Structure 1
Amino acid sequence: MPVTILTAQPDLSNEVVRHSESGVELEVLPPLRGITENMKGDLNITESQVYFWSESHNTGVALWYPDIIIHAIMRQADREAIYCQLGEGIHFPAQVAENGNNDDEEDEDIMAELYFIPANGDSLEAIYNAMSQCAVLHPDADADGEEFEEEEEWYANPSDEAELNEVQRAALDHLATVFQPPVNGKQTHENDDGAFEDAMEEE
């Protein structure tokens, strides 16, 4: 199922906007056919969708929250970004598969990843929080009526990994090697004094 591609700047007059950020770069993997550089534009986190619009490319995207199976803050030496992984079978039109093909059968195997790279790295927390709050408004229809509570928004994991499908398990294994979840809005470090260990053991 393809992502919604915008051909005109989105009308947000009837949207509840939780966060807006200008000067955001969007990197898409696998890359889009014909796009040789990151698009730069405006990111709007609304209660209904995530909107990105690039004036220079005269194009944009709209993402439904249920289609985003993972979103996280990524901090590496050369890049700080909001990472998003789309669900199985959800991808961009004309997105090039790893083998260089974009046949219909190959499209279904694409694992689409997005990196929203703000000009100001200090805005990562605000973007992440807004996405988390809006995602809670769109619970998974396959979750058997279970909903995450707001205090569980920070990198909440299912209690039983068996409930994850193969793609989601692989994604979590990959993220575990790349991302470090924040604690109270700050990155954790190996030399932390263990102030949170007792609380975790009591749960």
Structure 2
Amino acid sequence: MVERISELPSELTRQYTAEGTQLFYQRGPSVGSGTLVVAHDALYWWNSAAGEGLSVPYPSIAIHAISTDPASFSQPCIYLQTDGGDDYENDDEDDDEGDGDGADGNLRGVSWPPSEVWLAPADPSSLQAIFEALSACQAMHPDQDASDDDEELDEEEAEARLDHLDSVFQITSTSQFDAMTDDRFDDAEDDGEEGAEDTANGDLHE
């Protein structure tokens, strides 16, 4: 289960670290900017200014994926679906300190535990490395209950989960993301250069 932490463990075997990573819950506003640490034992996000953070054991991560579709989320990010809940809307059973929207900019203002988390690094080009580090570390900690849970899912519930994922983000495979460039963030000048190349190529075929 996702857990709040009051300090980042001093001794961690780090697979990857991304400074300036924005944390979002349940499509609410950013909780803040912190350090994302993909460690061998768990995934950590730490806000040193607020003195708080979270840890996510890998067996608690049901799905992790790269989301780059601006129609699904405002910025490129890592999407996590955790074991916080299956209905994607928490009842805030364990937290009576906030209203569940994260508007106060800290971990006490959100429903807990979250079932969905978005992690948006300052450098979108690091998403590939974060994804691969997550995949490698999660493989070290297989969820022993995963197969039993899958067997308990009926067809209707499985379809509901897939429909939800389709509505939230566009999954990008590592091979697809590897082929992408940062052209989508470039200005119109780059688009003009590409258009000129297309025109030149078209002339060659005539």
Q: Same fold per TM (> 0.5)?
A: yes
Decide which of 162, 170, 178 is 2:160's aligned counterpart: 170
With structure 2 as the length reference, what TM-score do the two structures score?
A: 0.63
**Alignment partner, residue 80 of structure 1:** 76
Number of the residue aligned with 1:8: 7
Map 1:35-74 onto structure 2 (within 5 A): 37-74=30-67
Is there any run of 5+ residues in structure 2 with no aligned partner, and where?
102-110, 181-206
What is the aligned length? 158
Matches within 5 A, 1:47-196: 47-77=40-70, 78-89=74-85, 93-94=94-95, 112-143=115-146, 164=153, 169-177=159-167, 178-182=169-173, 184-186=175-177
Query: Secondary structure in 1 aligned to 2:138?
Result: helix
Does the 8 A contact of 2:43 with 2:57 survive in 1?
Answer: yes
Larger helix share, 1 or 2:
2
| Alignment deviations for residues 104-133 of structure 1 (CA, whole Å, 9 cap, x no partner) | xxx89x762100000000000100110011
Shift of 1:174: 2.0
Residue 20 of structure 2 corresponds to residue 27 of structure 1: no
Give the distance between the partners of 1:168 and 1:133, measured in 2 at CA.
26
Per mean C-alpha deviation after superposition, the further-off stretch among 63-72 and 168-177 is 168-177
TM-superposed deviation, 1:17: 1.0
| CA 1:48–1:9: 2 relative to 1, 3 Å | closer
Q: Is the 8 A contact 1:30 1:96 kept in 2?
A: no
Contact 1:181–1:188 at 8 Å: present in 2 too? no
1:49-76 deviations in Å (ceiling 9; x for gaps): 0011001221100100111101110012
Against the structure 1 CA distance between its residues 50 and 59, is the aligned structure 2 distance closer, same or farther, given a 3 Å change threshold?
same
Tell me: CA distance 1:5–1:82, structure 2 relative to 1, closer, same or farther (3 Å): same
- 2-side partners of 1:18 and 1:171: how far apart? 30
In structure 1, C-alpha distance between the alignment counterparts of 2:152 and 2:178, rounded to whole Å = 28
Identity of aligned residues (%): 27
Distance 1:183 1:52 in 2: 23
Tell me which stretches of 4 or more aligned residues in structure 1 moved more than 3 Å.
Answer: 88-93, 95-98, 161-169
Matched position secondary structure for 2:22: strand
Rate the CA distance shift 1:143–1:63 in 2: closer, same or farther, 3 A. closer
Any conservation in 2 of the 1:25–1:38 contact (CA below 8 Å)?
Answer: yes
Residue identity in the other structure for 1:181 = T
Which segments of 5 or more consecutive residues in structure 1 lack a partner in the other structure? 99-106, 146-160, 190-203
Partner AA of 2:175 in structure 1: N
State the TM-score, normalizing by the size of structure 1. 0.64
User: Which of these two proteins has the greater Rg computed from alpha carbons?
Assistant: 2
| Aligned residues of 2:128 and 2:178 also touching (Cα < 8 A) | no
Q: 1:20 to 1:111 in 2, by over 3 A?
A: closer
> In structure 2, the residue corresponding to 1:140 is in which secondary structure?
coil
Shift of 1:4: 1.5
8 Å contact from structure 2 (residues 16, 38) kept in 1: yes
